[in-house]
Amino acid sequence: MKVTQNIQVAVDAVVFGYSKEEGVSILLIKRKYDPFKGTWAIPGGFVLDDESLETAAARELQEETGVKINYLEQLYTFGKPDRDPRTRILSVAYFGLVKSSQFQKLKATTDAEAAEWFNFKQLPKLAFDHKKILNVAIERLRGKIVYQPIGFELLDKKFPFSDLEHLYTTLLDRPIDRRNFKKKVMSLGILEELNEKAKSSGAGRPGNLFQFNKATYNQLLKNGMHFEI
């Protein structure tokens, strides 16, 4: 059977930022051109003929925001026929989670007029089907962190355990059982308790600081682990 296709392929990069002070944020760009000129959107664009999907996602992210990160995980492919008013376009979405304080100097170029971090609870109106893409990414992130410990790249090198708790409650947007959470995390052997005290906040005695055991953490990620909150 003869098949005629007029389909183009694009990529979108959903980048979540985290900081203890500001919580969870999303990196967005303001579109410079139509369609949806002047509207906020997820960074992304068309895949070039000679590049992989992963390379295209990283390139578009860097071109439109100035942000370069080492790893983006493939999220989902969005392909409704009417998702783009120009023509039939499939978008392969990727997502990543970074320490937003390391990426405060944003630089918008090519198709982007501006790039900014937005609190994920106070997002502007988004172009295309990007609201749906974000919702899928948020659901995936929350599903992932309840079975795979995170935090190595998001917290300070040395931190009080309360910072890890705060990270999880912020990303999940719900309370957690603090005692059970600490018991499960410590049983994995990925944290080392240090003989150093956290700075006093004025309420009670300061607890010890912790740091990730990078070798154990990476090995568990490689082998797979059972971790449920």
* CATH at residue 165: 1.10.10.10
Query: 106: which residues sit within 8 A by CB, 6+ positions away?
Result: 27, 65, 66, 67, 115, 116, 117
pLDDT of residue 203: 60
Residues 35 and 96 in one domain: yes
pLDDT of 222 above 60: yes
Range of the domain at 192: 159-223
Residues 47 and 140 in one domain: yes
117 in a structural domain: yes
Domain boundary among 117, 144, 171: 144
pLDDT bracket for residue 202 (50, 70, 90): low
Q: What is the mean pLDDT of the chain?
A: 92
| Tens-place pLDDT, residues 50-72 | 999 999 999 999 999 999 998 89
| H-run or E-run covering 65 | helix 53-65
Count of helices and strands (H, E) across the chain: 5, 10
| Tens-place pLDDT, residues 153-193 | 889 999 999 999 999 999 999 999 999 999 989 988 899 99
Residues 95 and 195 in one domain: no
Say how many domains are in the chain.
Answer: 2
14 in a structural domain: yes
96 in a structural domain: yes
Q: Which residue is listed with tokens 């059970």?
A: 180
169 in a structural domain: yes
Residues 134 and 170 in one domain: no
189 in a structural domain: yes
